[in-house]
Amino acid sequence: MDAKEDLVEAFLFKHQGGYPDHFPTVLTVMLGSIGIPARLVAGFAPGEFNPFTGMYIVRNTDPYSMTEVYFPKYGWFAFAPIPGRPLIPASIEEDRTFSVLRQFWNWVAGWLLSPVTGLLNGVFGTLFSWLFRASAWFIALFSQGWLSVLTAIIIVRKITAFLGLLGWVEWRKCL
């Protein structure tokens, strides 16, 4: 690249791309050149969640840069114009759900034969999908106003009382 060569023009037309950090840099320069307030922000992506410590492991391979654009009356908004990356980053909470259980299962599955692992995955996958559908149906059925919410509360209390009574009777039999 020549010292007098325009960096943005070389990025867009000559090389047709570059490193991930080049994309937000070029966008920031382009927006600034047409009078739109923009700035380049850099930092690190969240990294990998460690469920045992409750902290994130951020490595030197997790740098991240974005372009922030200023909108009057609204403030600064971030844009990540890097190809192949999701427009909306994954939620931090998504990584935490059942992560310890998932790691434990991956450890156990590593010791099992693959047909056994496939069978258990199928059984538990079917069971959990059925439970998810049943709970979604139950929530949808009883989320249609105050009367249905009260009905759901009464039904849940009745089921809980019935199961408690069964447990009490069985416990008394053991004594």
Parse the chain into domains and list their residue ranges: 7-95, 99-174
pLDDT band at 2 (very low <50, low <70, confident <90, very high): low
H/E stretch holding 37 reads: none
Torsions phi, psi for 134 (to 5 deg): -65, -40
Are the beta carbons of 26 and 11 closer than 8 angstroms? yes
Instruction: Tell which residue, 64, 66, 74, 75, has the closest CA to residue 41.
Output: 66
Is the overall model pTM greater than 0.75, yes or no?
A: no
Task: Give 48-67 pLDDT, tens digit per residue.
Answer: 877 777 778 888 888 888 88
The pLDDT tens digits for 81-99 are 878 776 555 555 555 556 6
